[in-house]
Structure 1
Amino acid sequence: MEIRTANSAHAPARWTTRMVFLFYSRPVFRAWEIFCNHAARLIAHKERMRSVHFSREWAELNLQRMEIQRGLGRISNSHAHVCASCGYCCKGTRERDAFLDRVMQQPDTEHLGARRRTGEMVGLRIAQAQGRVLHRDAPNAQGCCNELTCAGCRLPQELRPMQCLAYFCGAAAKALSQDECEEGIRLLKQLLKLQWHAVKLAARTRFGWHTKAS
């Protein structure tokens, strides 16, 4: 039986583990997210995907997405001081939610492009409806995402776009322990798998397959 001490849980990540984690977090996730979003957007039947039947399946995927993002959020919390001193990954005023972010949270969304061009993120509207908007009185961070304030993001972690929780820079990864990197790799693999399930669900809306793919 493997026994981990309190110290080992906080030991700095090995270089090899950190590189694997960054590999999944950046080039792999980024390329896979682009592919899955475009594939799902192009193949989905825009009417059938909003049906009650498929809306339930999108909701199931969304619950899984939220749970994965909560896990990634717990890892992110340990290096919040690194992000607070930089914030470069949140630069640019465009909204971050992609097609799959929107469809999982709101299958009847009217915003069907790969990237949002107008309006607010679905996650923000959900947070507003649930009274869960964070840092309400904090000023916006200049030149950054519309939801980033000087005190942090307005959205709870599970309501943010997937890329916001999946991305880790080198400085952030250096702040992680071995356990956190290993857990991050596991969660990122789950998120990649979930996106593929979303593409398959989009395909079923087009071709009328009413049984879940394994």
Structure 2
Amino acid sequence: MDNQPMARVPARWATRMRFLFYARPLFRAWEIICNHLARWLTDRRVLHDVRYQRQLAQLDLRRMAIQRGLGRISRSHAHVCARCGHCCKGTRERDAFLDRILQQPQTEHLGARRRTGEMVGFQRAREAQCVLHLAAAHLPGGCPELTCQGCRLPNELRPMQCLAYFCGAAVRALSQEECEQGIQLIRQLLRLQWDAVRLAARSRRWHVSGKA
């Protein structure tokens, strides 16, 4: 994808509604289903298998590219999120099972929710020295990664839900081209999550057969 600014042609109502459908009820329901399926199906005995880690790494590269694309679209509604901040309120952890297993296959946090430790995305950002807003204070009552100047994680290292969620006010700030591209990117993210479920199902056969 190029980095040229998108044309600011207002999005049609039907396109906005379609984008909202993908970004809110469909993505949220799909993510819950895929995370639970992947968690139940993954044979933890293959998490240290290099072949399995290689396939997870390929999925993670796809995820990162998709999230960078969604991040570029998000620039158009950054002012909306800055005024509201509702999605980042609450101290609960945002990373789900697939976020953790894709970014760090050997993670010890294999439950539906991580209740201790640091977000894998933050650990990777720290190792790569790409943590954002280092001098900014943490925002009380918000996500552990939220500062008074914004999220300290680059787009590609944030949980998938953080880039895929768009509210009505955010979508109204987007152009027609941005909405159309956003729909395509979220569809790609849905497909990626299903591919992760399929890989988890194959992991059970790997342990039995010893084959990738």
- Give the structure 2 partner of residue 15 of structure 1: 13
Counterpart CA distance in 2 for 1:205 and 1:36 is: 15
1:71 to 2:48 alignment: no
- Give the structure 2 partner of residue 99 of structure 1: 97
Counterpart CA distance in 1 for 2:48 and 2:61 is: 17
Per the TM alignment, residue 49 of structure 1 is displaced from its structure 2 partner at its CA by: 2.8
Counterpart CA distance in 1 for 2:192 and 2:54 is: 15
1:145 to 2:163 alignment: no
Per the TM alignment, residue 78 of structure 1 is displaced from its structure 2 partner at its CA by: 1.2
Counterpart CA distance in 1 for 2:186 and 2:15 is: 14
Per the TM alignment, residue 108 of structure 1 is displaced from its structure 2 partner at its CA by: 0.5
1:167 to 2:152 alignment: no
Counterpart CA distance in 2 for 1:95 and 1:122 is: 11
Task: Give the share of equivalent positions with the same residue, in percent.
Answer: 66
Counterpart CA distance in 1 for 2:167 and 2:147 is: 20
- Give the structure 2 partner of residue 57 of structure 1: 55
Q: How does 1:58-207 map to 2 (within 5 A)?
A: 58-207=56-205
One-letter amino acid of the structure 1 residue matched with residue 58 of structure 2? E
Consecutive unaligned residues of structure 1, counting only runs of 5 or more, are 1-5
Per the TM alignment, residue 179 of structure 1 is displaced from its structure 2 partner at its CA by: 0.1
Per the TM alignment, residue 165 of structure 1 is displaced from its structure 2 partner at its CA by: 0.2
One-letter amino acid of the structure 1 residue matched with residue 72 of structure 2? R
Deviation string, structure 1 residues 118-168 (Cα, Å, up to 9, x no partner): 111000000001100000111111211000011000000000000000000
Tell me the number of residue pairs that the alignment of Structure 1 and Structure 2 aligns: 206
One-letter amino acid of the structure 2 residue matched with residue 136 of structure 1? L
- Which moves more between the two structures, 65-74 or 111-120? 111-120
RMSD of aligned residue pairs (Cα, Å): 1.5
TM-score w.r.t. the length of structure 2 is 0.94
Per the TM alignment, residue 25 of structure 1 is displaced from its structure 2 partner at its CA by: 0.2
Q: Choose from 29, 32, 35 the match for 2:30.
A: 32
Per the TM alignment, residue 95 of structure 1 is displaced from its structure 2 partner at its CA by: 1.5
Instruction: Work out whether residues 49 and 202 of structure 1, in 8 Å CA contact, stay in contact via their aligned partners in 2.
Output: no
Counterpart CA distance in 2 for 1:45 and 1:165 is: 28
Counterpart CA distance in 1 for 2:89 and 2:173 is: 21
Counterpart CA distance in 2 for 1:113 and 1:37 is: 10
Per the TM alignment, residue 9 of structure 1 is displaced from its structure 2 partner at its CA by: 2.1
SS at match of 1:50: coil
Counterpart CA distance in 1 for 2:90 and 2:68 is: 25
- Which moves more between the two structures, 78-87 or 155-164? 78-87
